[in-house]
Amino acid sequence: MTLTLLLDLDDTLLNTNLDSFIPAYFQMLAKELTPQIAPEKMFRALISGTGLMSKSEDFSRTLEDVFNAEFYPQINIPREELASAIENFYDNVFPTLAGITSQIPAAKPLVDWAFSQGFRIAIATNPVFPRKATYHRLRWAGFEPEQFELVSTFDHFHFSKTQPAYYAEVLGRMGWTEGPVLMVGNDMERDILPAQKLGLATYHIDDKSSSKYASEAGARGKLVDLRSWLESTDFAVLIPSFKSVDSVLGILSATPAALNGLSYPLDSFAWSHEPSLDDWSLTELICHMRDSEREIHHMQIKLFKQQNEPFIPRPDTSVWASQRDYLHENGKLALKEFNAARRETLELIKNIKKEEWGRKARHAIFGPTNFLEVISFIADHDRMHIQQAWSTLKKM
């Protein structure tokens, strides 16, 4: 089985020394922008924008969008007026912060070995930094960004690492592999607990521990121990389970985010491309998901609200693509409409009480079921179609 390895960056692959690095980073940025902004005003806007990124649950806006909407109005300067100064900062000033950091000797041998094993590797770093800043830090750690299948940055991600939806977005952007997944990081609040809430196995980097051991937080040990731990681990135990309330809600939030990210750079040909006669184009996939959301998922949720033990029908949607001529719809518009429909879905279920997730029903296909299982079917439907979308894009 191919392992998908999600690796944190700061203080996992690179000694970033965040307590020193972040103040120095902010001070250098303030100095660079002093001709246009008073440092006190910049600090307030920077902290406010960063705080909003950390809490954002808006799958339709990247974290960069969230930050910019807060930062620039606070400093009362149009973004365009600062663009060249900010570019210069990340090109020429930010790299001087490398001296605050240091390489972790075990990091490159581990990553090189992981690549030699055919593992899929993503850098799952908190996406509250611009791409250039993250790429610089990766190079300081001894890597090239292009080595990795995915590197999360604020210009194309929608959630911070405090949320299970972040990890679902990472996996969605990688095509929702069905195999084992392991998240490796040093921070319990960002790397370990949210990943576990999604249903992922974790390995907590704890340099205070002289050996690996099991705990409620999952596997734990030094980075240098990780290779031997993986070599002695049955990968079957690393296969995720996405059946909890937290995992299902994380997937439902992340699906539009992943689709927004995957489709952002596409032209009209890519939207309408069908890899074969048996494959749907991306436009057809999105239209199918939009109409399933509106006409099936909303109906199913409302039945639970209206009836005690409802019968849950499952209409045949396989004919919709041809009947409704999805191929000739506007794919970008359909995606916006899916975003709106998914937002309504989350509104319908956000106030469900803990005990209500176990409410019984009878499903037209699966028989006896309950509310959580019906919602998990929606999450499974999401994952299946993101797999299709990712595969379609890879065939171009």
What are the residues facing 102 on neighbouring strands? Answer: 15
Residue spans of the chain under pLDDT 50: 210-215
Strands 150-151 and 120-123: parallel
Q: Check: pTM over 0.75? Answer yes or no.
A: yes
- Chain segment 330-344, per-residue pLDDT in tens: 999 999 999 999 999
Question: What does the pLDDT look like over 205-251, one tens digit per residue?
Answer: 986 654 444 445 679 999 999 999 999 999 999 999 999 999 999 99
DSSP assignment string, 10-54: BTTTEE--HHHHHHHHHHHHHHHHTTTS-HHHHHHHHHHHHHHHH
Would you state the pLDDT for residue 208? Answer: 63
- Burial of 319 from C-beta contacts in 10 A (0-12 / 13-18 / 19+): exposed
Our CA dihedral for 209, 211, 213, 218, rounded to 10 degrees, sits at 60
Position 25 scores a pLDDT of: 93
Please report the pLDDT score of residue 278 as a whole number. Answer: 80
User: What pLDDT does residue 125 have?
Assistant: 97
pLDDT for position 207: 67
Q: Which H or E element spans position 287?
A: helix 282-292
